[in-house]
């Protein structure tokens, strides 16, 4: 999909369909709606006055404009409710874009314009959020469906922000493209069935990333892990016929970075299928355990984005990839294993495989020089029970790093670009 930006009038956007956000209780003679309402002959005012469009979040009204309307190149207009003006931020921009992109693709619009009504002073961030939201909203989980379906795609997406800095819009849209595509890359990895996303295949995908985006990639096989004394990781892999892989991805900024600047490592759990091992899980919903490599997939997606965004710091991505299955060779409850760090571990429950593989992965990251480690894992359902499916638990031993992570996510929501 081609992505463009414009800081001209919304009505001048050369697209088939134009989507615009509408605040709750907003009038048609306010802001950007005023010019669009005039260009459409009062259709927006009619939709608002009739209360067909009240501006509630997620509400949509689709208008056919016909041909030959002066001041409006688009032939279709989609009004999308975004809720209260006071609560409108970049998260809402992203949601608006996703809703609009899905709705207009379903109506076979090949060229789409998104009027990115940026929160005050955040035009660049809004462009990023709009593109990111549109790309994420268009992601489909239909890769293996065999039923016939009509293929509908958006060929060109235009982000419209009247009067904004043209360079800032382009930078924002490009950042949104990189992040959105990398999120969808992660989703694609995570949704693969275990038979199609083995540790070997996961390592191959990492090597493809390295070739495409200039990352240095190294994959440790069982023999190298044995030499390093990774008994904790290897005890999990013992029950499977599929060989394990320790995936290492390195990013070094252009011009290099001094060793004194430290090395940040992302370490992600990559259990491509988790049966629980000898301590086998209940059969109900076990098919969902193909998702137990989502931490590792997230690391790979993050490194994909990093390689394109090119931050001025060194980064390391480490993914211990393995299956956890029961067999005659599998680790048994009560076994004692020795980790790379030299510590011995008594395995009481083989379904605690995540901490076993991460122990050696983190030790190896430290061996490679990591001074700070962010561990990403699907370790326990208790977190979702405690916090729901929106919030994420952050636990650690370095409060300054925890604070830095929290601040960076807040900055992303508020539209910072650095």
pLDDT in tens, 132-146: 999 999 999 888 887
Alpha carbon distances (Å) from 179 to 24, 134, 191, 308, 377: 29, 11, 18, 9, 20
Residue 107: pLDDT band with limits 50, 70, 90: very high
pLDDT value, residue 165: 96
Q: pTM above the 0.95 mark? A: no
Count the helices and strands in the chain (H runs, E runs): 12, 14
Query: Are the C-beta atoms of residues 213 and 279 closer than 8 Å to each other?
Result: no
pLDDT value, residue 255: 81
**Residue owning tokens 């239909």:** 142
Kindly tell me if the per-residue pLDDT of 417 is higher than 50: no
**Helix, strand, or coil (residue 334):** coil
Query: Are the C-beta atoms of residues 293 and 202 closer than 8 Å to each other?
Result: yes
Query: What positions carry a catalytic annotation?
Result: 281, 355
Query: Are the C-beta atoms of residues 154 and 104 closer than 8 Å to each other?
Result: yes
Alpha carbon distances (Å) from 262 to 248, 324, 368: 17, 34, 11
Across all residues in the chain, what is the average pLDDT? Answer: 93
Query: Are the C-beta atoms of residues 246 and 316 closer than 8 Å to each other?
Result: no
Structure tokens at 364: 């190896």
Structural element, H or E, at residue 32: helix 31-39
pLDDT in tens, 353-366: 999 999 999 999 99
Quick one: DSSP state of residue 281?
P
Query: Are the C-beta atoms of residues 376 and 266 closer than 8 Å to each other?
Result: yes
Q: How far apart are the first and last CA of the chain?
A: 26
Q: What is the mean predicted confidence (pLDDT) over 84-90? A: 92
Pairing of strands 2-6, 156-160: parallel
pLDDT in tens, 11-60: 999 999 999 999 999 999 988 999 999 999 999 999 999 999 999 999 99
Nearest to 129 by CA among 162, 152, 109, 100: 100
Domains and CATH numbers, the chain: 2-188 (3.40.220.10), 194-379 (3.40.630.10)
Kindly tell me if the per-residue pLDDT of 410 is higher than 80: no
Identify the burial level of 175 via C-beta atoms within 10 angstroms of its C-beta, where 0-12 means exposed, 13-18 middle and 19 or more buried: buried
**Helix, strand, or coil (residue 196):** helix
Residue 418: pLDDT band with limits 50, 70, 90: very low
pLDDT in tens, 322-359: 999 999 999 999 999 999 999 999 999 999 999 999 99
């Amino acid at each position: 999909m081609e992505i463009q930006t414009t800081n001209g009038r919304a009505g001048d956007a050369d697209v088939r369909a134009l989507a615009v956000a509408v605040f709750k209780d907003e009038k048609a003679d306010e802001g950007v709606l005023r010019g669009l309402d005039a260009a459409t002959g009062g259709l927006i005012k009619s939709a608002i006055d009739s209360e067909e469009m009240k501006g509630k979040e997620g509400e949509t009204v689709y208008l056919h404009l016909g041909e030959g309307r002066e001041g409006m190149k688009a032939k279709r207009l989609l009004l999308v409710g975004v809720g209260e003006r006071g609560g409108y931020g970049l998260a809402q921009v992203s949601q608006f874009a996703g809703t609009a992109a899905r709705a207009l693709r379903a109506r076979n619009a090949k060229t789409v314009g998104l009027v990115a009504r940026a929160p005050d002073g955040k035009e660049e961030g809004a462009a990023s959020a709009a593109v990111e939201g549109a790309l994420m909203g268009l992601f489909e989980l239909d890769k293996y469906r065999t039923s016939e379906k009509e293929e509908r795609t958006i060929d060109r997406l235009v982000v419209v922000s009247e009067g904004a800095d043209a360079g800032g819009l382009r930078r924002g849209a490009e950042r949104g493209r990189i992040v959105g595509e990398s999120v969808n890359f992660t989703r694609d990895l995570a949704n693969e069935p275990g038979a199609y996303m083995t540790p070997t295949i996961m390592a191959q995908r990492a090597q493809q990333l390295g070739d495409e985006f200039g990352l240095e990639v190294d994959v440790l096989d069982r023999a190298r892990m044995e030499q390093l004394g990774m008994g904790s990781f290897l005890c999990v892999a013992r029950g499977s016929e599929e060989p394990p892989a320790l995936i290492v991805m390195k990013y070094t900024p252009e011009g290099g970075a001094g060793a004194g600047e430290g090395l940040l490592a992302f370490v992600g759990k990559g259990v491509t299928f988790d049966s629980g091992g000898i301590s086998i899980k209940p059969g109900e919903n076990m098919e969902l355990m193909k998702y137990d490599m989502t931490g590792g997939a997230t690391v790979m997606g993050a490194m994909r984005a990093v390689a394109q965004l090119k931050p001025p710091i060194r980064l390391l991505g480490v993914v211990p990839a393995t299956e956890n299955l029961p067999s005659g060779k599998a680790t048994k409850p009560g076994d004692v294993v020795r980790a790379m760090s030299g510590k011995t571990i008594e395995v009481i429950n083989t379904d605690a495989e995540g901490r076993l593989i991460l122990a050696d992965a983190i030790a190896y990251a430290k061996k490679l020089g990591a001074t700070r480690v962010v561990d990403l894992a699907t370790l326990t359902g208790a977190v979702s029970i405690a916090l729901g499916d929106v919030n994420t638990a952050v636990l650690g031993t370095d409060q300054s790093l925890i604070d830095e992570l929290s601040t960076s996510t807040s900055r992303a929501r508020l539209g910072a670009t650095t």
